[in-house]
Structure 1
Amino acid sequence: MILVTGGAGFIGANFVIDWLACNAEPVLNVDKLTYAGNYTTLHELQGDARHTFAHVDIVDRESLDTLFRRYQPRAVVHFAAESHVDRSIDQPHEFIETNVVGTATLLDAARAYWGTLPLPQQSAFRFLHVSTDEVYGSLEPDDHPFSEMTPYAPNSPYAASKASSDHLVRAYHHTYGLPTLTTNCSNNYGPYQFPEKLIPLMIQRALHGQPMPVYGDGRNVRDWLYAGDHCDAIRTVLAKGRPGETYNIGGRNEHTNVDVVNRICSLLDEVRPRRNGSYRDQIAYVADRKGHDRRYAIDASKIERELDWKPSQTFDSGLARTVQWYVDNEAWTDAIHSGAYRRAFLSNELTGT
């Protein structure tokens, strides 16, 4: 069994669903179910004996110890994190609590459990920490993309909290010998992403006839990675990565924000045409957010070279899949807007399903 934290969030849920679709090994899914944790995303796993859900906060050491003793996982894949930059600007302490204190608590619980294992199982155990390219700061237009050797220079409370967690993971490997792996990924997109993030937000606002807000001049650049490709990369790192190493995961798809929004509009014009004009008519430029990094880009040559991994989706193919998914699954996002998704887990608990 593997233990996955944050497995009801965007990337974590995609990972759990993909893992069980191609792997017989069971998953212990640990999630606090904050506003961004959506239990309904996991509906297709109901009744699957390979999937066990634990409603646990990673800052709760006693509950973590109980889970490790009971389920004895061979690996931890740690997704759980507060991740929205705008929220981190307004509420930085929540990010410190989850991303720093939570990671430290999980590391300590994992180390205590790992120390009880026989030597062969200790050697095989892995703690894989999923992080972000935002820990590296911002790039100028002609700068080389971030590599694993790029110095950390986080510019938002979110990025600083993730940088702190990365350093803790590194320290637990070098101090205690815990077999850790760290991945730093570029901007993810795909199904089940909470609609506060750029791509799902733009799709939903477009479909509801609302303004599509673009920060500043819209020329901020991001490297886009399809969530399914990210999950495949994490499986590869878990299986073949060297303990103590960091692997950057990117899609090699650099685009400005306004280019992404225009592409979304073009796709929606095809699959859900407006009665009059194009969805581009709804684009509205708004004041830039505080500390908005200009460019992120990932040099993924290490994982490509050492672990033979490359993304399978181009940005065009991945974005087309993503737009179509949100068009076909409006009930999923409607449940978020109405708040019904927050009641789904309680309802399942009460009915015993």
Structure 2
Amino acid sequence: MNKFGRSLALLWLAFDAALASANPYLAKPGEAPIPVRVATCAISGGFMHLYTAIDNRLFEKYGLKVEFLLVRGAGVSVAALASNELQFLYCTADAIIPSLAAGAEAKMIASPLVGLPWVMIARKEIRRIEDLKGKIFIATRPGGTPDTLIRVLMKRLNFSANDLSIRHIGGAGQTEVYNALLQDLGHATMVTAPLDARAKRDGLNVIYQLDDLNLPAIYSSLFTNQRLLKERPEAVQRFTAAMAEAIHFVEKNPERAKASVGKVLALKDSESLQAAYDAYAKQLVNRRVTVPVSRVVETIEAARQAGAQVRRKANETYDNSYAEHLEKSGFLKDLWGGEVPGKKW
């Protein structure tokens, strides 16, 4: 080989090495895929990034063979995760953190969405949050997220217990409270996107964004169990990297993301799909996916004060090393073409 040929060969070797170092989490040639099961704890537009990653086969290039399941309810989901029936769970962190603090054999490893997606919707005669005085708020059950949030909001507004009645109608989802509002069983309730878009079409008013309360809320987050952390840490790292790439993919491919959400939620109208995209791909997104530690601490303390059993310290409920490695390795910088945009929790 002449001098020019050797130089060219060395150049290509350097180029290949640069590509490999840019994404150190990709599957190696000839490597057998790692089978894992992932579940969501509900059907929600807030799980947009996972739906999109699965539909567009992002996990495959990371050497993961993903089986997707739906397990309804936080308690059942945590039990399945702890017993290794699931290797990963994607769920609202606020619903899972109390179980982790109580001793569940699992940890939170990434938080793609941080904040509160809930909005207050009301009948057309209610235009401001202050107009709720003397009215009825509809919730499914005591202790649920909307029930908790309305009590916090009442305190912020200096409402007494007699200023706003809370009517619990039962059920397990937002459809029940939404229909109850349409049937005039109350004056206001809370929903998440894309139901806010439907509310506007039905002549209801969106009167408050609950994220404005600035509570220590963490929304869609990724959890795994102690067994996988111990036996297959590379699978945990790769799954975390794939979810970080999903955030980038959703941002750059909005139509594909909306198609994935539309399929799961059986939605076709463009307004509802755009509302979901705006909430979950823009408003709440945490591109670094690191778990916001201060919010975990505050959430556990709030659970303690509410009477929940707390057996673990906050730092025993999460592991940020996998999310932090994405930045240390240069993966995020390469993915975003420089400094990662957006908030840093």
TM-score normalized with structure 2 length: 0.29
Higher normalized contact order (CA 8 Å, seq sep 6+, divided by chain length)? 2
TM-score, length-scaled by structure 1: 0.28
The structure with more radius of gyration: 2
